[in-house]
Amino acid sequence: MKKTLLGAIATSALLAFSGTTAYATECIAPANPGGGWDFTCRQIGKILYDIGEVDAPVQVTNLAGAGGGLAFSTVVNERGDDADLIVAASSATTTRLAQNAYGGATADQVRFVGAIGADPGVIVVAADSPYQTLNDLVDAIKADPSSVAFAGGSAVGGFDHLKPLQVLKASGFDDITAVKYIGVDGGADAITQTVGGFTQAMTGDMSEVVGFLDAGEIRVLATLTEERVPGFDIPTAMEQGIDVVAVNWRGLYVPKDISDEQFEAWGAKLQAVADSAEWQQAMADNGLAPFTKVGGDFQSWIDGVVASTEELSREIGVIQ
């Protein structure tokens, strides 16, 4: 089935670009059209061509299945040395790999080439909450873990759940299984739970909370970014002495067996996209914050993220 599908994809790409150039980059979006991975392929692919980093329009292939697992296994097993292939990825990719959600696949079976934008993680309380700072909230949990429950838009063990656990671990609190988390259907529902007093805090992404922030219904205690999000006077966790960066980054991985030179070349191309006016506009239009890591720097960061996610996931019993 996979070979048949890939054959159809290859034929489609050939028909699309025959008569134009023998060279064509393909970007696999591991999901159906629409959504984050599809956005990553289409926006980055378009800008790569518009700014002259590739010689022909980028072919976008939607390869949905297993939450990104089908695309991952296809790259690993069938296209491991294809230097003209890039694949959309995000924090969900590394979280699922760390939690063995791809049937034994591991993050080191591909190379993560870069991220050039992110939806920042946030920790939020209701506007009338007694907690004025992130440390106020952390101190309350340290004093009585049962006093604070978090709501988030992911399931138990998902990325939203892991964000406050990372904050607490970085603050020296190790009893993370005592921290209460309620997974609901999306960020808006999580905020509603918090504003309504059913939970004391919400964990999610910046894009989910802006409307509630503008309406004065919530207080964002911290963004989980290296620098403040442009346009918002919100301190980072790092400013408050808690060394945590947790963002839903938008980026790419490439096949493992391409050469180091080809890997670095993709890093340079992605950096060129990040530096372009076109990408700055795309971020502004889609609520993304600057977050640029490419090449070996990004791969090293990913290695750390996967290791810490695996450790946290074991502690809370998501994996054995």
CATH of the domain at 60: 3.40.190.150
Please say if the pLDDT value at position 2 is more than 90: no
Q: What is the pLDDT of residue 64?
A: 95
Count of structural domains within the chain = 2
Q: Residue 239 domain-assigned?
A: no
pLDDT grade for 230, boundaries at 50, 70 and 90: confident
Please say if the pLDDT value at position 12 is more than 90: no
Q: What is the pLDDT of residue 35?
A: 84
Please say if the pLDDT value at position 18 is more than 80: no
Structure tokens at 58: 């980028």
Q: Are residues 149 and 106 in the same domain?
A: no
pLDDT in tens, 253-271: 999 999 999 999 999 999 9
Q: Are residues 150 and 99 in the same domain?
A: no
Q: Are residues 106 and 144 in the same domain?
A: no
Domain that holds residue 174: 119-223
Q: Are residues 275 and 127 in the same domain?
A: no
Q: What is the pLDDT of residue 139?
A: 98
Give me the mean pLDDT over the 81-109 stretch: 96
Q: Residue 243 domain-assigned?
A: no
Q: Residue 159 domain-assigned?
A: yes
Q: Residue 69 domain-assigned?
A: yes
Q: Residue 238 domain-assigned?
A: no
Q: Are residues 138 and 208 in the same domain?
A: yes
Of residues 22 and 139, which shows the higher confidence score?
139
pLDDT grade for 231, boundaries at 50, 70 and 90: confident
CATH of the domain at 187: 3.40.190.10
Q: What is the pLDDT of residue 15?
A: 37
Q: What is the pLDDT of residue 273?
A: 98
pLDDT in tens, 112-167: 999 999 999 999 999 999 999 999 999 999 999 999 999 999 889 999 999 999 99
CB atoms within 10 A of CB 152: 30
Between CA 276 and CA 117 the distance in angstroms is 13
Q: Are residues 261 and 182 in the same domain?
A: no
For the chain, percent of residues with pLDDT exceeding 90: 84
pLDDT in tens, 194-227: 999 999 999 999 989 999 999 999 999 999 999 8
Q: Are residues 60 and 164 in the same domain?
A: no
Q: Residue 240 domain-assigned?
A: no
Residue 34, CA distances (Å) to 27, 43, 90, 174, 299 in order = 15, 12, 15, 39, 27
Q: Are residues 103 and 123 in the same domain?
A: no
Q: What is the pLDDT of residue 287?
A: 79
State pTM to two decimals: 0.84
Give me the mean pLDDT over the 169-180 stretch: 95
Q: What is the pLDDT of residue 115?
A: 98
Residue 218, CA distances (Å) to 111, 112, 238, 288 in order = 39, 36, 21, 20
CB atoms within 10 A of CB 286: 14
Please say if the pLDDT value at position 4 is more than 80: no
Q: Residue 228 domain-assigned?
A: no
Q: CB of 225 within 8 A of CB of 120?
A: yes
Q: Are residues 101 and 144 in the same domain?
A: no
Q: Residue 184 domain-assigned?
A: yes
| Average pLDDT score, the chain | 91
Q: Are residues 110 and 13 in the same domain?
A: yes
Q: Are residues 52 and 95 in the same domain?
A: yes
Please say if the pLDDT value at position 7 is more than 50: no
Give me the mean pLDDT over the 47-51 stretch: 98
Between CA 175 and CA 168 the distance in angstroms is 9
Between CA 225 and CA 235 the distance in angstroms is 9
